[in-house]
Amino acid sequence: MPTIRSAVALAAAVAGAAAGTVLAAAPASAATAPCPAGYYCFYQDANYNRGTTGWHLNYNSTQSGDFNNPPASSGNKRNQLSSIINNGNRTICVYNDVVLAPDKLLIKVPPYGDVPNLANIPGANDNADYWKINAC
């Protein structure tokens, strides 16, 4: 019995150490690896699609776009955006297209800013319809 217990404890300790390593490395890689330098990137799911197969969109020179048939992509991706990486020196302005009312600025992402989960911002998750650069 003591042998089994210590084996389990060792396994748990190894698993914990491995998980700790992954967590410690995540902030640096999350901000850069999935989104090339100078680009801004949109993700369907939280945490930049980590562990999911959601869509992502990477843009460099594109000044604006609609999530319905977005530039260099296709399909209606409105009301799906959940995380953003801005790996450039511009400001990303993301809007909700409101019918019969002024469109709402959902989030303004500053240069080199990351938004791991739009669900942390009331009304912002799965609501983005279009974006503009340096225009909010």
Site for Ca ion, rule CB under 5 A: 79-80, 82, 96, 126-127, 129
CB of 26 to Ca ion, least distance (A): 19
Question: Which one, 5 or 86, has the nearer CB to Ca ion?
Answer: 86
Q: Do residues 85 and 31 lie in contact, with contact meaning Cβ atoms separated by under 8 Å?
A: yes
Distance, in Å, from the CA atom of 128 to the CA atom of 45, rounded to the nearest integer, reads 13
| DSSP at 46 | G
Tokens of 71: 């530039």
Element (H, E) at 22: helix 2-32
Tell me which residue has its CB nearest to Ca ion. 82
Question: Which one, 80 or 87, has the nearer CB to Ca ion?
Answer: 80
CB of 127 to Ca ion, least distance (A): 4
Distance, in Å, from the CA atom of 58 to the CA atom of 132, rounded to the nearest integer, reads 14
Question: Which one, 86 or 127, has the nearer CB to Ca ion?
Answer: 127
CB of 47 to Ca ion, least distance (A): 11
Edge to edge, the sheet with strand 40-43 lists 56-59, 40-43, 83-86, 114-115
Question: Which one, 45 or 59, has the nearer CB to Ca ion?
Answer: 45
CB of 92 to Ca ion, least distance (A): 16
